[in-house]
Structure 1
Amino acid sequence: MQDVTTLAFMSVVADYGAPDYFVTEFFRVHDTSRLEKHIVRSIDENRTDRPIFAQLIGESIPQLERTVEELLKHPIAGIDLNLGCPAPKVYKKNVGGGLLRDPGKVDEILAALRSVCPGRFTVKMRLGFSDSSPYDDVLASVKKHQVDMLTVHGRTVKGGYRSEVDYDLIAHAVQSVPCPVLANGNVTSARSASRIIQHTGAAGVMIGRHAIRNPWIFEQCRREFAGEAYDPVCLADVHGYIENLFKATHSDQIPERAHVNRIKKFLNFVGQGVDARGEFLYDMRRTHSPEELFRVCKKHLLTSPETRFADEPYAGVIARPNCETPLTPVA
């Protein structure tokens, strides 16, 4: 996740139970691109004891090949190609999800990257750009070029985060390619992850936004898959998570107000599980200093610290109103 899976965030998540592997923010690849230093740090200085895949986004085959060669000098577990980013500023450059408008170009890129990746080469994609018409062609290319693992987000690019997730089409990918397939899209909890795997036959799930809300989710998934119980998270635990995240992301080079604003982007997701009326979100979004922020956190999280943090986002409580619609409650 861009601007999220930094070295600091990976370290914090690992304290609560790291995923099986991490994927970096994407390296932007073009004619004059260089490896972004802060993303390289998330590889070279990573102490989570988890494999790190380097994520690329771009369309120039020579520059993608060059970037892979540079990244192979670092301790990466593999290369991951982004074919799914739905941000307009990305797809308008014909990269990320924009490439799904041109399955022929995707085929050329997969062939080239497979030839220069001696280790694991993975792909994350959506179902298509405006509809799923290119889906089977891209799946055929994934199979032909021996991609090692495929993650499918069950929406189109234009569907953003508002449309329904089509788990049947993820199941179709599972049946169509020989490599493991991970299901992605509205993996909101360990229980939803289990249901999605049962529905799709996927080898596992990739979790993005809901790991910001609930960093315990990966360990909860492990226990859910093993049929083991796990302790509920309470609001006091969430307060501790916010404190740890604030400390880990602090830098003397970042102005105080800017740091608070950055943390608020994370808390937009956390707030989905605090209260059903969105009162925490309302108050948090109006803070401007660390003192104001933690005064709000104390009010909403430590007044009744043993109150359970919701496993699923509360219906109607939205992290990003301009990007998302409320999630349908899970029965």
Structure 2
Amino acid sequence: MQDVTDLRFMRVIAHYGSPDYFFTEYFRVYANSGLHKNILRSITENTSGRPVFAQLIGESIPDLMRVAGELSRYPIAGIDLNLGCPAPRIYRKNVGGGLLRDPDKLNSMLGELRQAVNGRFTVKMRVGFDDTANFDRILDLINRHNIDLLSLHGRTVKEMYHSDVHYDLIAHAVQRVQCPVLANGNVTSAVAAAAVLSQTEAAGVMIGRAAIRNPWIFQQTRQHLSGQPVSNIMLPAVRDYIERLRCATAMPSIPERARVSHMKMYLNYIGQGVDATGAFLSDMRQARTEAELFGACDRHLLSEPDQPFAVEPYPGQAARPNRETAHVLEAC
């Protein structure tokens, strides 16, 4: 998730129970591109105790090979190639999900990178660009080039996040490819994770946006899958999570309005589990100052300490972009 899963957010998530491994934000790869210092910090300063895969996005094969080689000198779990980003400003450059339109280019790219990467080489993709005509052909390329892990989002690029997830296509991929498959798409709770695993027979799940809303989701999923009671989270604990986010991501050097907008990026997701009426989302979106924003958090999250945080997002409480923020969330 670009502009979200940086070192600071990873540290917050680790406090509540890390995933088995992390993927960095993507390193944008092009001619003469270097290693983005802030993204690199999520590798070099990782204290979560969990492995971190370095994610690349680009279309220049020589430059992808060059950057993969540079990253191999750092303590990474492997190199991950992004073939799934659905943001129009990304796929229009023929990178991310845009590459799913060109299996011949992918054949060359995967082959060259497989030769260049001595360790684990993984791929994250969707089931197609605007249809699934190339799906089986690309799955066969995953086999041909001995990819070590496939993370598969069960929608096409053009479907973004609006359609139902095609879990049947993820199940098809599980049967067709030789490597483990992680199922991705609408894994919103521990119960949802178990259902997706049962339906697809995938080796695991990849969780993105739901971890912004509920950082306890990894711990809860482990509990559910092992037959333990799933932890109930009360609203005051969510207020503590918001405060931890604020402290971890605060940048006093930037204007207050920008800080407020940055926090709203997180709160657009967190608010989906606070109340069924959407009152918290409405109040926080109207805030213009930090005092107004965190005052709204206190009113809605501390006034009813025995109120549980919703395990699944309340219907109709989808996150929407915040016009003020300069940050773009791309959950690929």
Do they superpose with TM above 0.5? yes
- More displaced stretch, 29-38 vs 190-199: 29-38
Equivalent residue, structure 1, for 2:229:
229
Give the SS at the match of 1:55.
strand
Alignment partners' CA distance in 1, 2:112 and 2:126: 21
Q: Deviations over 1:171-216 (max 9, x none)?
A: 0000001110000000010000000000000000000000000000
In the alignment, is residue 259 of structure 1 matched against residue 259 of structure 2?
yes
Superposition map of 1:170-319 within 5 A: 170-319=170-319
In the alignment, is residue 6 of structure 1 matched against residue 11 of structure 2?
no
Give the SS at the match of 1:285.
helix
Equivalent residue, structure 2, for 1:44:
44
Alignment partners' CA distance in 2, 1:217 and 1:58: 31
Alignment partners' CA distance in 1, 2:52 and 2:310: 30
Q: Which runs of 5+ in 1 are unaligned?
A: 323-331
Equivalent residue, structure 1, for 2:18:
18
RMSD value over aligned CA atoms? 1.0
Q: Which structure 1 residue ranges, 4+ long, deviate > 3 Å from structure 2?
A: none
The one-letter code of the counterpart of 2:151 is T
The one-letter code of the counterpart of 1:43 is I
Question: Identity rate of aligned residues, in percent?
Answer: 59
TM-score calculated relative to the size of structure 1: 0.96
Alignment partners' CA distance in 1, 2:239 and 2:194: 27
Give the SS at the match of 2:54.
strand
Equivalent residue, structure 2, for 1:325:
none
TM-score calculated relative to the size of structure 2: 0.95
Equivalent residue, structure 2, for 1:101:
101
Equivalent residue, structure 2, for 1:120:
120
The one-letter code of the counterpart of 1:159 is E
The one-letter code of the counterpart of 1:28 is R
Higher normalized contact order (CA 8 Å, seq sep 6+, divided by chain length): 2
Alignment partners' CA distance in 2, 1:136 and 1:88: 24
The Cα of 1:252 is off from its aligned counterpart by 2.9
Alignment partners' CA distance in 2, 1:308 and 1:246: 22
Give the SS at the match of 2:247.
helix
Aligned 8 A contact 2:53 2:78 in 1? yes
The one-letter code of the counterpart of 1:199 is Q
Q: Deviations over 1:132-168 (max 9, x none)?
A: 1111011000011110000110000000000110000
Q: Deviations over 1:273-292 (max 9, x none)?
A: 01111111111111122211
The Cα of 1:321 is off from its aligned counterpart by 6.6
How many residue pairs are counted as aligned between the two chains? 322
Equivalent residue, structure 2, for 1:82:
82
Aligned 8 A contact 2:123 2:149 in 1? yes
Alignment partners' CA distance in 2, 1:65 and 1:253: 37
Superposition map of 1:111-190 within 5 A: 111-190=111-190
In the alignment, is residue 64 of structure 1 matched against residue 69 of structure 2?
no
Give the SS at the match of 2:286.
coil
The Cα of 1:310 is off from its aligned counterpart by 0.4
Alignment partners' CA distance in 2, 1:205 and 1:221: 10
